[in-house]
């Protein structure tokens, strides 16, 4: 008698290995296993690093090689497959995910274009910086969207510091590294403080005549104040701390153009900038506007229903920065933040498992747990609990620093599980003691 044909596995494809996507495939792999399900992560990078750490990588304060997670090994451990490739589109009718050909450094094809079947698809492709169509941003500004961009910023920063060191040695006593940061949200503010921390340490790493007095950082914000997600009092405290470090803060300042070595503001005023960092908002990648007819909002983010299924296709979910969900009785979508991605990953996990087990889908309920901003080693400010207690509890100093550190620890546990997650936290404490304070290569 002929052997019984192997039953086709249910294929779940997750595109994007950020915090939400990586947590989701780990939980799906752990719960559903490999026998009846094939869980695939499609990602264009080989390794993962938590996005809120990128400002430290950019300043050289964190060696990403010590904190990154390899998708291949992680997938073997947690029961999913890692497909290394760049997302190129979907065919909703045939339920296929398309990936672009993989090229090496010389432009030669390593792996051809692929089509991956899916029964359920989760888009967790993240967001990109919104340049609002301002001239020169794409050509001259730097961004902090991924590890590669953070490494690029660090390389340019170190070159600028070396250049100034040489000028000072040649007698140009007023030489400085000038950095313009456009956008005063958490990324821009945290980077500004981290730059001064790094500059302070550079003289101990071979740049004897360079320190924080050779650094001039300017933050430009179109709104009335920095850190709009925080209460006024905490934003004012953060601004005072930054100004004490030497940061110039220009609020109510709209940028008109970014040039090769300057930023031009409305009204014609310009400030010189050896490096310009754009951190002025998040939108969905442009290709989402023409992705299988899926609905997007004006920021090119995928519009979803309360179940986090896209509005036109029940088999496609979206989570994280690429997802636009506006709760009932709210006017604006949930902001693109790490805590939202984590909560969305949890809900989609429950809903996919619910579909497998024949249970009704749950609706997404966002719990705002507040915001925390770390000004490097100088200070930490934020608000805790959010709507969990019907209001916010302002925190500063040691309590805020402990709470901020706990966010990364929770991320490690979410992607590694409790045992390895706790081990990684312990290793992190040891590394902070034994590894160099700065990454200069």
163 and 218, same domain (yes or no): yes
Q: What is the pLDDT of residue 140?
A: 96
Residue 402 pLDDT > 90, yes or no?
no
151 and 97, same domain (yes or no): no
pLDDT digits (tens, 9 = 90+) for 293-339: 999 999 999 999 999 999 999 999 999 999 999 998 888 899 888 88
For the ranges 225-229, 262-266, 427-431, the maximum mean pLDDT occurs at 262-266
291 and 257, same domain (yes or no): no
Q: What is the pLDDT of residue 279?
A: 94
78 and 165, same domain (yes or no): no
Beta bridge partners of 89: 98
pLDDT digits (tens, 9 = 90+) for 60-87: 888 877 778 999 999 999 999 999 999 9
Residue 3 pLDDT > 60, yes or no?
no
119 and 153, same domain (yes or no): no
User: Residue 255 in 3-state DSSP?
Assistant: strand
Q: What is the pLDDT of residue 1?
A: 39
Residue 117 pLDDT > 60, yes or no?
yes
For the ranges 104-108, 207-211, 380-384, the maximum mean pLDDT occurs at 104-108
Q: What is the pLDDT of residue 389?
A: 42
Does residue 162 lie in a domain region?
Answer: yes
Residue 388 pLDDT > 70, yes or no?
no
180 and 262, same domain (yes or no): yes
176 and 251, same domain (yes or no): yes
Residue 345 pLDDT > 50, yes or no?
yes
pLDDT digits (tens, 9 = 90+) for 369-380: 777 777 777 777
- The larger pLDDT score, comparing residue 205 to residue 348, is at 348
Does residue 385 lie in a domain region?
Answer: no
pLDDT digits (tens, 9 = 90+) for 207-250: 666 778 889 999 999 999 998 888 888 889 889 999 999 999 99
Q: What is the pLDDT of residue 265?
A: 93
Residue 437 pLDDT > 80, yes or no?
no
Give the mean model confidence (pLDDT) for residues 2-14: 73
Does residue 167 lie in a domain region?
Answer: yes
Angle between the N-to-C axes of helices 186-202 and 147-169, in degrees from 0 to 180, rounded to the nearest 10: 40
User: Residue 59 belongs to what domain range?
Assistant: 10-129+283-367
Range 205-213, long-range pairs (CB < 8 A, 24+ positions) = 205/436, 205/437, 205/438, 205/440, 206/440, 207/161, 207/162, 207/165, 209/165, 209/168, 209/169, 210/161, 210/164, 210/165, 210/168, 212/245, 212/246, 213/246
The fraction of the chain above a pLDDT of 70, given in percent, is 88
275 and 197, same domain (yes or no): yes
Does residue 3 lie in a domain region?
Answer: no
Alpha-carbon gap, residue 402 to 418, rounded angstroms? 19
Does residue 297 lie in a domain region?
Answer: yes
User: Which of 260, 280, 300 is the last residue in one of the domains?
Assistant: 280
User: Which of 367, 397, 426 is the last residue in one of the domains?
Assistant: 367
251 and 157, same domain (yes or no): yes
The bridge status of strand 96-99 relative to strand 114-117 is antiparallel
135 and 241, same domain (yes or no): yes
Q: What is the pLDDT of residue 165?
A: 87
Q: What is the pLDDT of residue 431?
A: 62
Does residue 360 lie in a domain region?
Answer: yes
149 and 116, same domain (yes or no): no
Please, are residues 357 and 335 in contact by the beta-carbon 8 Å criterion?
A: no
Does residue 421 lie in a domain region?
Answer: no
pLDDT digits (tens, 9 = 90+) for 153-172: 999 999 998 888 888 888 88
Give the mean model confidence (pLDDT) for residues 111-129: 95
When the pLDDT of each residue in the chain is averaged and rounded to a whole number, the result is: 87
Residue 390 pLDDT > 70, yes or no?
no
Our count of domains for the chain comes to 2
User: Which of 367, 396, 431 is the last residue in one of the domains?
Assistant: 367
Give the mean model confidence (pLDDT) for residues 406-418: 80
Alpha-carbon gap, residue 397 to 102, rounded angstroms? 47
Does residue 402 lie in a domain region?
Answer: no
- The larger pLDDT score, comparing residue 21 to residue 367, is at 21
149 and 220, same domain (yes or no): yes
Residue 433 pLDDT > 60, yes or no?
no
CATH code where residue 114 lies: 3.50.50.60
């Amino acid at each position: 008698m002929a052997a019984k044909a192997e039953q086709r596995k249910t294929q779940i494809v997750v595109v994007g290995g950020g915090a939400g996507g990586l947590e989701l495939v780990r939980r799906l792999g752990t719960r559903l296993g490999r026998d009846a399900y094939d869980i695939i992560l499609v990602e264009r990078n080989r390794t993962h690093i938590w996005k809120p750490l990128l400002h430290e990588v950019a300043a050289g304060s964190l060696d990403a090689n010590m904190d990154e997670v390899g998708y291949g090994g992680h997938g073997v451990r947690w029961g999913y497959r890692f497909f290394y490739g760049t997302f190129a589109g979907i065919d909703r009718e045939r339920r296929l995910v398309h990936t672009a050909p993989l090229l090496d450094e010389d432009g030669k094809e390593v792996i051809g274009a692929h089509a991956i079947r899916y029964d359920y698809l989760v888009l967790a492709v993240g967001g990109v910086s919104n340049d609002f169509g301002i001239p020169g941003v794409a050509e001259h500004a730097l961004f902090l969207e991924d590890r590669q961009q953070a490494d690029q910023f660090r390389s340019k920063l170190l070159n600028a510091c070396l250049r100034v060191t040489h000028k000072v040695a040649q007698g140009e006593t007023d030489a400085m590294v000038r950095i313009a940061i456009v956008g005063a949200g958490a990324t821009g503010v945290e980077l500004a403080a981290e730059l001064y921390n790094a500059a302070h340490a550079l003289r101990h790493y071979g740049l004897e005549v360079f320190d924080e007095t050779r650094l001039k950082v300017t933050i430009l914000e179109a709104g009335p104040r920095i850190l709009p997600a925080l209460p006024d009092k905490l934003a004012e405290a953060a601004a005072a701390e930054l100004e004490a470090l030497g940061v110039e803060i220009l609020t109510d300042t709209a940028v008109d153009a970014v040039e090769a070595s300057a930023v031009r503001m409305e009204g014609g005023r310009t400030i010189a900038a050896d490096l310009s960092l754009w951190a002025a908002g998040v939108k969905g990648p442009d290709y989402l506007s023409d992705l299988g007819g899926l609905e997007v909002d004006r920021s090119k983010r995928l519009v979803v229903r309360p179940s986090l299924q896209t509005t036109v296709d029940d088999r496609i979910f979206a989570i994280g920065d690429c997802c636009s969900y506006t709760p009932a009785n709210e006017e604006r979508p949930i902001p693109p933040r790490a805590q939202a991605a984590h909560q969305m990953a949890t809900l989609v996990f429950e809903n996919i498992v619910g579909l497998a087990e024949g249970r009704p889908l749950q609706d997404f309920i966002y719990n705002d747990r507040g915001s925390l901003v770390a000004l490097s080693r100088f200070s930490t400010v934020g608000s805790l609990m959010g709507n969990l207690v019907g209001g916010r509890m302002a925190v500063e100093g040691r309590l805020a620093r402990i709470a901020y550190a706990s966010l990364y620890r929770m991320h490690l546990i979410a992607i590694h599980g409790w045992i390895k997650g706790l081990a990684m936290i312990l290793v992190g404490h040891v590394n902070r003691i034994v590894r160099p304070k700065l990454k200069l290569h």
